Chain A
Amino acid sequence: MRQGIGHSTSDRVPLIDRIGGFLSPPVFFCAVAIGFLSSALLGNRSAQFNMFRNFVRIHQLIGTETLFDVTALQIHRLLQEVPASKILVVVGGSSRLNGVGQRPQELWSRHLQERLGADYAVVNLALRAGAADQFGSHAAEAMIKAGRRVLYIADWGPIGFVPVGGQRPYWYFFYDSLARDLLLDSPIRDQRLEEFESRPEQAVTRELRLRSRLNRWLYFNDLWTYAGYHYAFFAGWDWLISENPFAARSTLSDPEQAEAVGGFYRFYDFEQTMRTAALFASAQFANSFDQVTEWGRITPTPLRDRSLIVWIALSPFYTHHFSGEDRSRHTDNMVASAEALRHAGFRSIEIGRDWAADDFVDLVHVSEKGGRKLVDVVAPLVTQMARDHGYIQ
């Protein structure tokens, strides 16, 4: 249609159509397939070796907090790099064993490694907002399944137990491990998982399972996590990486570089934290023991037999403000928790009741000084477990 001088815009063929008209469809679609399959092949290659450099722990900048979801196979390769001659000590659990409040060079698990010596290899896979039945436990399972000499240490406490399959935000790791057939057989866990996934509101977990199965063959999570670690990360933005959002994660150092002198107590509202502390001193606390029993039931026996679950007390900075009755109940709850864990089939110990406020940095997290005390307790138990399992004489 002509309107005076020149053409109306409706006469113009859109650019996308002009490009499309210029393309050769057979070549284009063949190239799409080649590009996709090459990526899958590259993902497969990237997952054949350990990708980590100087791994100490999963800190914020190589963790889920910054959208960086390390895959089950990448952790498996990390652990496989440990010589088979060494006893593999996998540390799992929450931020307490991850070492929140401790600098990487003074991390408790490093001191544990020094104390245990060259016959052992300690790998800290504990996570901020993680729990004993997540991530590290799956990684330990995979190594037990691979026939390695493994011991598993984790803490139990702040997070509690979540039905298998629903352990946000690290549930992806469980499904990833499951899809790659890395986990030990546990018919009870399979049954619980089936029950959990059949709930109408759990469509998201069914989707997660499907995606993990796809990833098993197409390696998209492995490839792009690898690329984000070594080259550039462009999957998302987060304020923690706002200064350098696209940087390869391997170039970003652990953000906890400063010693937490005096702890973090002053950053928390005292009254609110006391209310949290009071939960551990409540009569209802014993209700959580059923969860412990359930966790023991679904945990494969070889992993349960090799597990040491540590229950760490709360900081006396707060517990000293308990009434006599609450303090007594807090102690009883701790003792009973460890007992419940033992009853569920785990080796367990409760520690820290006689620690000072500076052995912690806040209500639950252990300071570098407290970390040394943790090592003092855990190291002999690890050695004893190694002996009990015939790993050493």
Chain B
Amino acid sequence: MAYRLPRWILSAVLGLGVGVMLHFALYRIGLPIQPFIYQAF
């Protein structure tokens, strides 16, 4: 099949990126949208 190797490479690169982004998303959704502001008293 034509372009098989480029297809696999593109699929692998995009897939790896999506996998890493999913992992990062699990981290990011745990953080608040805005940081808390420290007030001494």
Listed in ascending order, the chain A residues whose CB lies under 8 Å from chain B are 19, 22-25, 27-40, 43, 60, 64-67, 69, 95, 100, 128-129, 158, 168-169, 172, 208, 211, 214-215, 218, 220-221, 223-225, 235-236, 238, 273, 276, 362-365
Contacts and interface: CB of A to CB of B under 8 A. Distances in A.
Interface in B1-41: 3, 7-8, 10-20, 22-24, 26-28, 30-32, 35-41
B36 A31 contact: no
Interface of B: 3, 7-8, 10-20, 22-24, 26-28, 30-32, 35-41
Given A22-B7, A23-B14, A28-B11, A362 B19 contact: no
Nearest to B30: A211
A66 to B, nearest CB: 6
A28 B27 contact: no
A220 B3 CA distance: 35
Nearest to B23: A39
Given A23-B10, A67-B31, A221-B27, A276 B41 contact: yes
A36 B19 contact: yes
23 contacts: A24-B7, A27-B7, A31-B11, A31-B13, A31-B18, A31-B19, A32-B16, A32-B19, A34-B16, A35-B16, A35-B17, A37-B19, A39-B20, A66-B35, A100-B40, A128-B38, A129-B39, A214-B26, A223-B27, A236-B35, A273-B41, A362-B41, A363-B40
A376 B1 CA distance: 80
A365 B40 contact: yes
A17 B2 CA distance: 19
Interface of A is mostly: helix
Nearest to B22: A36
B27 A224 contact: yes
B15 A32 contact: yes
A158 to B, nearest CB: 6
A172 B30 CA distance: 9
B7 to A, nearest CB: 5
Contacts of B14: 19, 23, 28, 31
Contacts of A25: 11
A216 to B, nearest CB: 12
A76 B26 CA distance: 22
A34 B15 contact: yes
B26 A218 contact: yes
Given A32-B18, A36-B19, A65-B36, A220 B24 contact: yes
A218 B14 CA distance: 21
Contacts of A67: 31-32, 35
A273 B22 CA distance: 47
